[in-house]
Amino acid sequence: MSEAMVEQIRQRLTRALAPTELEIVDEGHLHAGHAGEGKGHFHVRIVSAAFAGLLPIRRHRLVYAALDGLMDNGIHALSIDATSK
């Protein structure tokens, strides 16, 4: 499941934000025993020109918008590092 989810995240972010760099890390193993039972925890590091001039909260909103529908269906927690360069 998590490899499929990583690929879905990759496809959506690539389509929406055309990143020059994109790294998606499944961090579920760090959260075993927590809500979500260690599944659906991801870290995204993304660099995109779409973020130029935007405050971090706006960058995060763009990422969440691209992942709409996955946040309640496969992604339990998401940490984001979004920059324009």
| Burial class (CB within 10 angstroms; exposed 0-12, middle 13-18, buried 19+) of 29 | exposed
Express each pLDDT in 57-76 by its tens digit: 999 999 999 999 898 788 88
Return the SS3 of 84.
coil
Domain of residue 2 covers: 1-30+39-83
Confidence label for 9 from pLDDT (cuts 50, 70 and 90): very high
User: What pTM was estimated for this model as a whole?
Assistant: 0.86
Query: For the chain, what is the domain count?
Result: 1
The domain spanning residue 14 has which CATH number?
A: 3.30.300.90
